[in-house]
Amino acid sequence: MADQKYEVKGDFRMGDEWRPYAKVVEAPNAAQAKERTFALIGSKHRLKRSYITVQSITLLSGE
């Protein structure tokens, strides 16, 4: 199955505050999109998964 584009929205902890994010990732399904988001944000900002929340995962159509 080909990868589809998903928009993942949520918050991550930066210091003492939670900051919102929105990422577009390519993945075969929504669960993999969530995992890739954890990997991308965690590696960029050096955060553990407990400091990253996912509030919505939306399939982007027509792309």
Tell whether the model's pLDDT for residue 11 goes beyond 60. Answer: yes
User: What integer pLDDT is reported at residue 61 of this predicted model?
Assistant: 83
Contacts (Cβ under 8 Å, ≥6 apart) of 31: none
**CATH top-level class for 4-59?**
alpha beta
Tell whether the model's pLDDT for residue 63 goes beyond 70. Answer: no
Torsion of CA 50, 55, 57, 62, to 10 degrees: -140
Q: Please write the tens of the pLDDT for every residue from 13-45.
A: 999 999 999 999 999 999 999 999 999 999 999
User: What integer pLDDT is reported at residue 1 of this predicted model?
Assistant: 64
Please choose, from the candidates 27, 24, 48, the residue with its C-alpha nearest in 3D space to the C-alpha of residue 38.
48
pTM of the model: 0.88
In the chain, what are the domain boundaries?
4-59
